[in-house]
Amino acid sequence: MEKLGKKLMILSVAPHSYNEDNKPVSYEPYVREINLWSELFDEVDIYTIIEPFNPKLNHKFAAFKDSNIKLVNLLTFDASKGLINKIGLILSLPLVTIQFAIALRKYDVVNIRNSGFFSAILGLLTRLFSKRTITKWAGSYMPYDGENFITKVDRKIINLYHKKHKVLVYDKVYKNHFVNFIPALMSNSEIKAAKKLSEQKITLNNHLEIVAIGRLYWAKNFELIFEALDILNKDKTLNFSWYFNMIGDGDLREKLEQMANNFQLNDNVAFKGALPFKKAQFLLAKSHILIMPGEKEGWPKPIAEAWAHNSYPLAANKGNIPDIITSKDKGIAFNPSKEDLAKAIKNAYNYLIENENANFTIHAKEYSLENFQKKLIEIIKEIK
């Protein structure tokens, strides 16, 4: 693999730890992407808040592939751990600024991965020092109601044009230094294996297997699924039965379980909790449709995962969904109301009946790890 530089600096607020074997670990989908970056540089330093390793989260974490990755602790506090830490974060910002300013001299390329205080500081410094930088804007780039002040500031910073800067966004933003760029998903061989796994999918035969996957919290809007299923449950004209698997865990789980109980859906609903991806794959592969009802999604990864496992995605018609589900053979983009979702589920069933040999896996290949790295190399070379 061609090396594009000696040292890469990454700023990331994703959870990072050293495991029992003293190997750096983090959230598994994120690790997959960083592994691609690490192949292009001799050394990779990830600036983050290093947390104590929690063995209970083993199913969510993975070790980085290459030994050239090192974690560097930011001189700050984790604001998610209470008021004192929030105050500590504010007071530590001058220290972080100094830490970044001193560190920048060592690196050929900088990758900024999250919006917030740290990215705003580093974004300004990389422009002041004319440092080659690729910023990955996490989530939709477009402003939204209720967004915090620092996100607005950070957006203004990345809008500042510099020939040595590129900004990767999920949305289509027409600026000289912005690139519409979709994250990596699976390797070509994994997509092929997922397609093979999907061959075990039962034929519809008047029964629809449904799945949703994600962290159970307010922004994902999973309540909408149960409201739509309640409509289906009361629909006397419905010509198929259904079963729904909810994959994920979080603060919303108790509320969703209560909704399933109140709507008398318990015989047709299973809460699977958080699962390692390999276990979630089996449920994805056996499902005919996947529902993603969130209105505030960044890159809607479950859609590509559904395609890989030859399942048909239904997603709320918000954010960048209209740019992804561009035709009926790719899925259904529905207005996020319970009535429209119930209608979309019925339409999906009819579409699958009419197109029993449909192959959705072909859409996933665009998001392979190999394609991601190829595009990444082109972008890094552009900012030389």
Q: Residue 119: count other Cβ atoms within 10 Å of its Cβ.
A: 25
Cα dihedral value 13, 19, 21, 24, nearest 10: -10
**Three-state secondary structure readout of the chain:** CCCCEEEEEEECCCCEEECCCCCEEEEHHHHHHHHHHHCCEEEEEEEECECCCCHHHCCCEEECCCCCEEEEECCCCCHHHCHHHHHHHHHHHHHHHHHHHHHHHHCCEEEECCCCHHHHHHHHHHHHCCCCEEEECCCCCCCCCCCCHHHHHHHHHHCCCCCCEEEEECCCCCCCCEEECCCCCECHHHHHHHHHHHCCCCCCCCEEEEEEECCCCHHHCCHHHHHHHHHHHHCCCCCCEEEEEEEECCCCHHHHHHHHHHCCCHHHEEEEECCCHHHHHHHHHHCCEEEECCCCCCCCHHHHHHHHCCCEEEEECCCCHHHHCCCHHHCEEECCCHHHHHHHHHHHHHHHHHCCCCCCHHHHHHHEHHHHHHHHHHHHHHCC
Distances (CA, A) of 74 to 49, 103, 118, 124, 250: 6, 11, 9, 17, 28
User: What interhelical angle do 83-103 and 117-128 show, nearest 10?
Assistant: 20
49: amino acid identity, one letter: I
Rounded-to-integer distance, Cα 167 and Cα 383, Å: 11
Length of the chain: 384
pTM for this one?
Answer: 0.80
Residue 66: what pLDDT?
87
Contact 112, 122 (CB under 8 A): yes
Q: Residue 225: count other Cβ atoms within 10 Å of its Cβ.
A: 26
Sheet with 165-169, side-by-side order of all strands: 69-73, 41-48, 5-11, 109-112, 133-136, 165-169, 178-180
Residue 260: what pLDDT?
97
Residue 228: what pLDDT?
97
Rounded-to-integer distance, Cα 129 and Cα 105, Å: 9
Residue 286: what pLDDT?
94
Residue 213, beta-bridge partner list: 247
Residue 275: what pLDDT?
87
pLDDT tens per residue across all 384 residues of the chain: 678 889 999 999 888 999 988 999 998 888 989 999 999 999 999 999 998 888 777 667 889 998 999 999 998 877 777 888 788 888 889 999 999 999 999 999 999 998 888 999 999 999 999 999 999 987 778 777 777 888 888 899 999 988 899 999 887 788 889 988 777 778 889 899 999 999 888 888 899 999 999 989 888 999 999 999 999 999 999 999 999 999 999 999 999 999 999 999 999 999 999 888 788 899 999 999 999 999 877 677 889 999 999 999 999 998 778 888 989 999 999 999 999 999 999 999 999 999 988 999 999 888 888 888 999 999 999 987
Contact 315, 221 (CB under 8 A): no
Gyration radius (Cα) of the chain, Å: 22
Q: Residue 207: count other Cβ atoms within 10 Å of its Cβ.
A: 13
Residue 53: what pLDDT?
86
Tokens (6 digits) for 78: 């984790």
Ordered by where they begin, the domains of the chain are: 5-184+368-382 (3.40.50.2000), 188-366 (3.40.50.2000)
